[in-house]
Structure 1
Amino acid sequence: MTAVMVVVVAAVVMAPAPAESARAFFVFGDSLVDNGNNNYLLTSARADAPPYGIDYPTHRPTGRFSNGLNIPDIISEHLGAEPTMPYLSPELRGAKLLVGANFASAGVGILNDTGIQFVNIVRIGRQLRHFGEYQGKLRALVGAARARRVRLYEMGARRVLVTGTGPLGCAPAERALHGRNGECAPDLMRASELFNPQLSRVLQELNARHGAGTFIAANSFRVHFDFISDPAAFGFATAKEACCGQGPHNGLGLCTAMSNLCADRDKYVFWDAYHPTERANRIIVSQFMNGSLDYVSPLNLSAALEMDATAAAAASRMQDKVARLADDKPRV
C-alpha cells in the first residue's frame, strides 16, 4: 500500500501499507482539510452546526468547514477509497485504521502561536505526535512488520503533497476587513507571494535528498487565483461574496443558522468567510490530480499514482519469478 499525505498547511501522505494494492492516506493541516477533529475539542473553531454540511451526503454538519466535501474527501474519491476519519473519532478503529487518518485541526498554522484565540486546537507538532500514537494502534491491529509499511517518509511514505498558501487577501473576510473598495488585501497577497517560492525551494531540496517526486508542491495560489480573478470562466457568479455569512461580502463572523445563505452554492467560490465551496474544492483537486507543472510539480498526483502502480506491478512480478525459481530448485 502506498501512502499519500495532504498538508495545507496541508500535507497528504501516501505510504506503503498492509494491503499491497491499496494506499494509506494521511492528512495534516488546518480548517481547509479538517474533517471533524475539532468536534472533539473544547474550542470555538468548529463547524458542527447548520448550515455547515448542507450539501454533504447526510445533509448534516460533520466538522468540515464546507457546504459539502472538502479537499481530502475529493482526493479519496480519486483514489477510489473511503474518506479518512478524524483521528480523534472513537470510530477510528479496526479496519478503519488501514485507510489512514485525518489529523488536521481548524485554526492551526505553521507557528505554534497561530490560532491562539481558539485555545484548544491540535497544532502541527501534536498532529505528528498523534501520528505516532496511530502507529501504535496499527501495530496492535496488524503487527509491527506490516505497520512499518504505513509511515511518513523516513518511515516509508513515498508521496507527500504539500500545498502552499492561496491568495489569502482575497478571502471575503480579508476583503471586508483589510481590502480597499472590496479588493484583495494587499499585505496578505504580498505575504503569500513571499512564502510560496521559499516553500517550493525547500521541497526541491527535500526531493534532491529523498528522490524526485517524493514531495509534490501544489501551487494553491495559482489554482485559487485562476477562478478568483475570472470566476465566470469556471461557471461561478462571484468570487468576492461568501455564500454564508454577514456583513460586507458576507465576510464577517461565522456561518450560522442566522447568517445570510445563498440558494445556489455552485455559483460561489467561497462558502464562508475563508473556505471554498465543495465545487471550488473539486476544481482545486482536479488541478492537483491532472494539472500542468504550473499548478503542481515535479509531477501531478495522477502521474505519481501511475508510476507507483507500475513499480508495484514490476515488484510483484519479480517476487513471483523468485518464488518460481525457488520452487524449481532441486532438493537434496
Structure 2
Amino acid sequence: MGHYRPLHCHCLIVLAFDSFIRLCTSSTAHTPVANFVFGDSLVDSGNNNYILSLSKADFVPNGIDFGGPTGRYTNGRTIVDIIGQEIGLSGFTPPYLAPTTAGPAILQGVNYASGGGGILNHTGKIFGGRINLDAQMDNFANTRQQIISTIGDAAAAKLFHSALFSVTIGSNDFINNYLTPAPCVDRVAQKQVPPESFVAAMISRFRTQLTRLYRMGGRRIVVANVGPIGCIPFQREINSAGAGAGPGCAAFPNQVAQLYNGQLRGLVQQLGTELPGSQFVYADVYRIVEDIIRNYSSYGFQNAAAPCCQLLLLSGVPAAPAGGPGPGLGLIDHINSLIPCGPASKVCPDRSKYVFWDPFHPTEAANAIIASRLFDGHHPYIFPVNIRRLTNE
C-alpha cells in the first residue's frame, strides 16, 4: 500500500507554493521542475532505511564519498543523482519514505526506488521488505494527489508534463528471482520455466506499469534496460564456469538479460507510438556498462572484476594485483565477490580505479560515465533522444 502523508500548510509553505505555480506556468522554462525516480538499489536514495529489509545500505562504508551512508548502494552518487545535477535541479531527489519528504519538497520530485525491488511482485522475497514497482506506482499516486490538492489540477498537469520520469528496474527480477538457487526462494525451478516465459511475464507486467505511469500524468519517461548482470562480481563468482559472454562474465545471466532487453526496446517504442503526447526514451545501460568493462583501462579504471569494498578480517590474505576481468583473481577477490559491503569491510584507497563498489553495484566513477552517456550520448546508447534533449523540448 502507499504511504500518505498529510500536508501541514503554514505561511511559508503557501508562499513557496505560490512561487512554484508561477514557475510551472512559465512558458520559457525548459529545465524540468520535478524529477520522479522509480527503480531498485541502483537508484535507491534511502527508502529501504525505513522498512524492515535485509537489503540495506545505511551503514559505513557506503557513502564514504557522499559524506556518510544515506542508503545509497555505492560510495557516492547514483546515476539519477548525477543526472539530476546535470538538469539543474537544486539538491538531490529525496526518498519517498523520509519524514522530511513532505510539503514543498515533493514539488521538485520524489525518489520511490527500493533496494531489492522488481517488476514482478514476488521478486526480492529473500530480502523480506522491499518496495516493488506496483507499490512504487501506488506511492507516486499518493504524491500526485498531494500535489493536485496543493497547487490545483492545471498546475499539477504542467508539472507532470514537464517533469523527468525515470524507471531503472528489472535486474532483481533475474538476480533475486529467476537466477536465485531454487532452495532460496519459493518458486518453480528454472528448468520448469523457460527464459522466454519468464521474460514474457516481465514485459507484460511492465507494460501495465508504464501505461499506468502515463495515465497518472508522466510524459517524459526514460526506461533503462538491464545491464550485463553476468559481469557483476557476484554472478562472475557463482557462475565461475560460465564463459563466452565477455571477459570473465557469466554467459547465461547475460543471455537472459539480452533476451529481456530486446523485448523491452520494442515495448518502449510501441508505447511511445501508442500513447498520445508521450516521449518514451530507451536507455541501453547494458551496452554502456559492457563497453566500460571491456575497455576499462581506456576509461581510467584498473579493476573491472573485483569489488572495491572488501572484508577487513581478510585483509591479510594475498589479493590479486589490480587488474581487469577474467581468471586469475586472488582468494580475497573471490570471497569479496560474494559477501556484501559492510562495517567489517575495508575500502580500496582510490574508488575511481574500480568499476564495482560491491558485488552488485557500480562505483560513483562508473555511475558518472553511465550518466554522461545517457545525458549527452546518442544512438545506440540512448534513443530516440538523449536526456538533455528530452528535458529541453
Is the pair's TM-score, using the shorter chain for normalization, greater than 0.5?
A: yes
Task: Check conservation: 1:212, 1:298, Cα contact below 8 A.
Answer: no
Name the structure 2 match of 1:28. Answer: 38
1:211 CA drift (Å) = 5.4
Q: Does 1:289 align with 2:289?
A: no
Aligned residues: CA RMSD: 1.8
Which of 51, 56, 80 is matched with 1:41 structurally? 51
| 2:377 maps to amino acid | G
| 1:280 maps to amino acid | A
Unaligned runs of 5+ in 1: 1-16, 309-332
1:300 CA drift (Å) = 0.8
> In 2, Cα distance between the equivalents of 1:120 and 1:158?
30
1:213 CA drift (Å) = 7.0
Which of 267, 271, 287 is matched with 2:357 structurally? 271
Q: Give matches, 1:147-158, under 5 Å.
A: 147-151=156-160, 152-158=213-219
Task: Check conservation: 1:213, 1:299, Cα contact below 8 A.
Answer: no
> In 2, Cα distance between the equivalents of 1:305 and 1:133?
24
Q: Does 1:100 align with 2:106?
A: no
Could you list the per-position Cα deviations for residues 154-174 of structure 1 after superposition, in whole angstroms to 9, with x for gaps in the alignment? Answer: 243221000000000000111
Name the structure 1 match of 2:251. Answer: 186
1:212 CA drift (Å) = 8.2
| 1:120 maps to amino acid | G
Q: Give matches, 1:1-332, under 5 Å.
A: 18=21, 19-20=23-24, 21=29, 22-56=32-66, 59-81=67-89, 82-151=91-160, 152-180=213-241, 183-210=248-275, 214-246=279-311, 247-249=332-334, 250-306=336-392, 308=393
Aligned to 1:102, the other structure's residue is in SS state: coil
Aligned residue pairs total: 289
| Residue 212 to residue 299, structure 1, CA distance change in 2 (3 Å) | farther
TM-score, L = length of structure 1 = 0.83
Task: Check conservation: 2:288, 2:373, Cα contact below 8 A.
Answer: yes
Task: Check conservation: 2:373, 2:381, Cα contact below 8 A.
Answer: yes
Unaligned runs of 5+ in 2: 1-19, 161-212, 312-331
Query: Which is strand-richer, 1 or 2?
Result: 1
Deviates further, 286-295 or 239-248: 239-248
| 1:129 maps to amino acid | D
1:140 CA drift (Å) = 3.3
> In 1, Cα distance between the equivalents of 2:159 and 2:115?
25
Task: Check conservation: 2:214, 2:278, Cα contact below 8 A.
Answer: no
TM-score, L = length of structure 2 = 0.70
Aligned to 2:58, the other structure's residue is in SS state: coil
| Residue 251 to residue 112, structure 1, CA distance change in 2 (3 Å) | same
1:143 CA drift (Å) = 2.8
Aligned to 1:131, the other structure's residue is in SS state: helix
1:95 CA drift (Å) = 1.5
Could you list the per-position Cα deviations for residues 174-226 of structure 1 after superposition, in whole angstroms to 9, with x for gaps in the alignment? Answer: 11111238821111011111111100000111111135871100001100001
Aligned to 2:378, the other structure's residue is in SS state: coil
| Residue 36 to residue 102, structure 1, CA distance change in 2 (3 Å) | same
Aligned to 2:34, the other structure's residue is in SS state: strand
> In 2, Cα distance between the equivalents of 1:292 and 1:123?
30
| 1:183 maps to amino acid | G
| Residue 217 to residue 193, structure 1, CA distance change in 2 (3 Å) | same
